[in-house]
Structure 1
């Protein structure tokens, strides 16, 4: 689905991953769930592109619902995943997330999330293949020239990815616009956050970023700008 010129989403807003497309090829932000592989190929085909046009995969963090097809992309096309080293062990499935930081739960939204994830291969995640480290402030030489901003809190290696070329900031699970456990909408802290206070403190690192589109790992795209998204996330955290 096209969000804006050069900016696309794969899948549904239950679990998001994104494509940045320019004349040099495609950068993928997050790899969703394993069966998003077919969705990726279909989305590329609709744009007259193939997997040969993919130049990079960047993971906002190492949770299982973000590493999806990363192993297959590495195996079939030799494309490694860029990830902050603090989350390497998560992406390799060497550690499991503790059962904390869930927050409120409503049966309907949680069941929808679990059912959707299961249908898309989420019950059988595959460890990421080759990983390449990224660090705070780094600008990658890949389509879109994305800049990495380290935002620890949700996980130790969570990052935002700023792509001025498409006027977008990708936040992974530093923000949700549709809580998968409650169905609540709008910019809010994401559930399953390991260090909620640290996640909120990390927002100071992005509030000056100039981008219209603020794109979460779960929920619809937000086009109200970064500053307003940060304000709303902080406000929700105080409730």
Structure 2
């Protein structure tokens, strides 16, 4: 699905993958669940572009529902996988720490896990080789993604600012639809390592001139970064 010219959304509000499309090649932001590889190939077929036009994968963090088919693209096509340096071990299979038990409702939880199972969530391949990235890096990939370090959800979480499409991808630093409760609107994301750090990191988005703030789970936010942060702060009060 085209969000704006040069930006495609693959998947849905449960788990989303995004594709930056330029004449020179494409950049993937996150790789969702393993079964979403088929969704990617369908999207590329509709565009008339081969898998080989993907020049790199940028992971917002190392959780397995964001690394899903990264290793397949890396091992089969040699596509480099970039990740925040502090999350490299997580993407390569290190188990994340336990987090406080999040609130949940049965219906949304069942929908999330049913979707994950349909998309191969029982077998989540680790990435065997990664390219570490750090705050301030501008990656040599289509769209020239700018990396903003945002530790909190995980130590190596990043936001990925792509000025070419006036968007910033925030991974799980926040959500606009909680997969465990179904509550919509900007809010803290579940399964977060350090909620206080995640909250503080959001202020790094305040000065960005973007039209779209795009989480890994939930609808795209279209009202700008300052309004998103304000809505998040309201939701945080009741979290």
> What TM bracket, shorter-length normalisation?
over 0.9
Query: How do residues 203-218 of structure 1 correspond to structure 2 at under 5 angstroms?
Result: 203-218=202-217
The answer on 1:45 being equivalent to 2:45 is yes
1:56-108 per-residue CA deviation (whole Å, 9 max, x = no partner) reads 1000000010000001001111012100111111111122341x244210000
Q: Distance in 1 between matches of 2:134 and 2:181?
A: 33
Unaligned runs of 5+ in 1: none
Unaligned runs of 5+ in 2: none
- Alignment partner, residue 58 of structure 2: 58
- Alignment partner, residue 141 of structure 2: 142
Q: Distance in 2 between matches of 1:76 and 1:204?
A: 39
- Alignment partner, residue 72 of structure 1: 72
List structure 1 runs of 4+ shifted beyond 3 angstroms.
Answer: none
Q: How many residues align?
A: 238
Q: Distance in 2 between matches of 1:102 and 1:89?
A: 24
| RMSD of aligned Cα (Å) | 1.0
Q: Distance in 2 between matches of 1:39 and 1:129?
A: 23
Q: Distance in 2 between matches of 1:164 and 1:189?
A: 25
Give the TM-score of the pair, scaled to structure 1.
0.97
Q: Distance in 1 between matches of 2:210 and 2:96?
A: 33
Q: Distance in 1 between matches of 2:4 and 2:57?
A: 20
